[in-house]
Amino acid sequence: MDAHEHWTYNFEERIFATPIISLPILDDALRELDYVLERGARAILVRPAPVPGYKGRRSFALPEFDPFWKRVEQAGIAVGMHASDDGFQRYLNEWEGSSAEYLPFKSRRSAFHLIVDSEHRFIKDTATSIIGHGLTARFPTLRFLPIENGSSWVRPLVTQFQKLYERTPSAFDENPMQAWHRCIYVHPFHEEDVAGLVGVIGPDNVLFGSDYPHPGATSSQAATRTLTIGVLTDATGPASSGQKNLEDGLKAGIASVAGQGYTIKYVIGDTATNPATALSAAQKLVQQNHVVAVVAHSAIAFTVVVLTPVP
């Protein structure tokens, strides 16, 4: 019990609490950061929103906050940004003619509010500021972890980064996607297209976690996993006659794992009994269909190739 009665953010190298650092007064934020680091913090959490101040709000990615980020980078700790009061309420109030306070568990939200909130606009703006205001260029080893914000905002932002960098590279301090791959790690919701997200930002930038019963998780009893696999087979060509019962076997296998919480979908890739065609079919399964694995059932292949680790 003695260990529990001491303020610490590292309990026996097993439990790592994440302290929240408030940034409006920079000197106080630095003192708080030193305090939690001395007590074993491995990660901190900051509000994914402009920082309030007596001159108004501004991004934490502006050079004004560089002394704080320099200390964070030197410590080598991660920076979490959990879904929270991100300041978007004031914009909702303007659209809805309201002066409501942010009360996530008490207020009744309109359809407009639900739609706008589901787009996670502010975490997208926060990630844009981190890269667009040059924070990642000034401190290249910072690691930001947007948690419980889903991943639906990632693809549109990546598209914009790529398009605008191609058009106006001089506006950026560095290639925005290089900055992303180095500094931003995304936590998708379990029901999203995780394999597709991996295809966009790579497996090293995708995180998994659980805080059931929050939206980003399910209980172990109720958990189901939907996986899409690719089946590379000789649907046409000289060897096609040997594949007539393939789909019956697939359906039987899918039924057998359904009771274990898995929903399996499959996409057929036709080799045409030709090695070159087989390669292009496999590439299509991965790049366009975003399958998590390719099962080769063909006269010209004898292996099972797993392309993406399944969480």
Q: What pLDDT, on a 0 to 100 scale, did the predictor assign at position 69? A: 98
Instruction: Map residue 15 onto helix, strand or coil.
Output: strand
Q: Residue 149 corresponds to which amino acid?
A: N
Q: What pLDDT, on a 0 to 100 scale, did the predictor assign at position 51? A: 94
Strand order, beta sheet including 293-297: 262-270, 225-233, 293-297, 304-306
Q: What pLDDT, on a 0 to 100 scale, did the predictor assign at position 305? A: 46
Residue 215 half-sphere exposure toward CB, CA atoms < 13 A: 14
Give the number of other CB atoms < 10 A from CB of residue 209.
Answer: 11
Query: If you ran DSSP here, which 8-state letter would residue 48 be given?
Result: S
Q: Do 183 and 127 contact (CB within 8 A), yes or no?
A: no
Q: Residue 276 corresponds to which amino acid?
A: A
Query: If you ran DSSP here, which 8-state letter would residue 17 be given?
Result: -
Query: What are residue 287's phi and psi, to 5 degrees?
Result: -80, -30
Q: Do 234 and 271 contact (CB within 8 A), yes or no?
A: yes
Q: Do 172 and 142 contact (CB within 8 A), yes or no?
A: no
CATH match of 2-83+120-205 with 3.20.20.70? no
Q: Is the dihedral of CA 92, 94, 95, 99 positive or negative?
A: positive
Q: Classify strands 225-233 and 293-297 as parallel, antiparallel or unpaired.
A: parallel
Tell me if 2-83+120-205 shares its fold with 225-306. Answer: no
For 225-306, CATH number out of 3.40.50.10900, 3.40.50.1010, 3.40.50.970, 3.40.50.2300 equals 3.40.50.2300
Domain layout of the chain by residue ranges: 2-83+120-205, 225-306
Entry field: residues in the chain: 311
Give the number of other CB atoms < 10 A from CB of residue 161.
Answer: 20
CA 169/CA 161 separation, integer angstroms: 10
pLDDT tens for the chain, 311 residues: list them. Answer: 344 456 788 888 888 889 999 999 999 999 999 999 999 999 999 999 999 998 899 999 999 999 999 999 999 999 999 888 777 788 888 888 888 887 776 667 788 888 887 777 889 999 999 999 999 999 999 999 998 888 999 999 999 999 999 999 999 999 999 999 999 999 998 778 888 899 999 999 999 876 666 655 555 544 456 788 888 888 898 888 877 778 888 888 888 777 666 788 889 989 888 888 888 888 888 888 888 888 888 777 644 444 444 44
Instruction: Map residue 78 onto helix, strand or coil.
Output: strand
- pTM (predicted TM-score): 0.68
Q: What pLDDT, on a 0 to 100 scale, did the predictor assign at position 215? A: 55
Contacts of 185 (CB under 8 A, 6+ apart): 143, 144, 145, 146, 205, 206, 207
Q: What pLDDT, on a 0 to 100 scale, did the predictor assign at position 106? A: 67
